[in-house]
Structures are given as structure tokens and as C-alpha cells.
Amino acid sequence: EPEVTQTPSHQVTQMGQEVILRCVPISNHLYFYWYRQILGQKVEFLVSFYNNEISEKSEIFDDQFSVERPDGSNFTLKIRSTKLEDSAMYFCASSEWGGNTEAFFGQGTRLTVV
């Protein structure tokens, strides 16, 4: 069964450093998403991406964050100058179509900022 894969599974970084979280969405999917889940809290939407541009973003997704589809298979989330409060599980998801279709989530990258 096709799946969304994320690397690395765990990333530790120092406060102020830049990190790039990587995702390989399912190959025929057109919509890509990033969500995050701080330990013990709800899953929160960050951004959706379609046709090489951001289609929607949340209040959390400020100038510190950026997304990119650098080639035909990868989808990345970059966090510039990480803060302690960025420590969370980051989930990538993709769907064949937008709107009311099934979203497939990856297993997540646990980001720890020290």
C-alpha cells in the first residue's frame, strides 16, 4: 500500500539553528500538508500546498516557516532559527485531491530543540 514517508524520524537541533524536515508524498497525490503536534496537545494544521504554491496556512505558519517542493517527489518544511517551543511531532500528509478526500499521514518527525 502506498504511504507517505518522512525523514528523519527524530531530529535534535540547537535553538537558533535551521532545520529541514523532509517528506515524500504518495506519488499521484496533488495536495500536500504539514501538521504538528506538541507533546500532549492537539494536532494542529500548519500549511497546505498545491500546484507549487501555498493554498492555505494557519496563524502558526509565520515567516519562520517555509515549504518547498524541490523536485517531483519531495516536500520539505524549513524552520529558520528554531525556538524551544518548536519542539513537536511534525506530520506530513498528502491527498489525491483537495477538499473532502482522504488525507494520508506520514509517521512523523519528532523535532527536539535544545
Partner 1 sequence: DAKTTQPNSMESNEEEPVHLPCNHSTISGTDYIHWYRQLPSQGPEYVIHGLTSNVNNRMASLAIAEDRKSSTLILHRATLRDAAVYYCILMETSGSRLTFGEGTQLTVNP
The residue from 44, 64, 66, 69 that contacts partner 1 (CB under 8 A) is 44
User: In whole angstroms, what is the distance from residue 106 CA to residue 36 CA?
Assistant: 12
3-state DSSP call for residue 81?
Answer: coil
DSSP state, residue 63: T
Nearby residues of 79 by Cβ (< 8 Å), 6 or more positions away: 18, 19, 20, 21, 64, 65, 86, 111
- 85 is a site residue for partner 1 (CB under 8 A): no
The residue from 29, 48, 65, 75 that contacts partner 1 (CB under 8 A) is 48
User: In whole angstroms, what is the distance from residue 47 CA to residue 34 CA?
Assistant: 5
CB of 6 to partner 1, least distance (A): 8
- 56 is a site residue for partner 1 (CB under 8 A): yes
* Binding region for partner 1 (CB under 8 A) out of 16-24, 55-63, 67-75, 80-88: 55-63
CB-nearer residue toward partner 1: 35 or 65: 35
What are 6's strand-pairing partners? 23
Task: By CB under 8 A, name the binding residues for partner 1.
Answer: 4, 31, 33, 35, 42-45, 48, 50, 55-56, 58, 91, 93, 98-100, 102-108
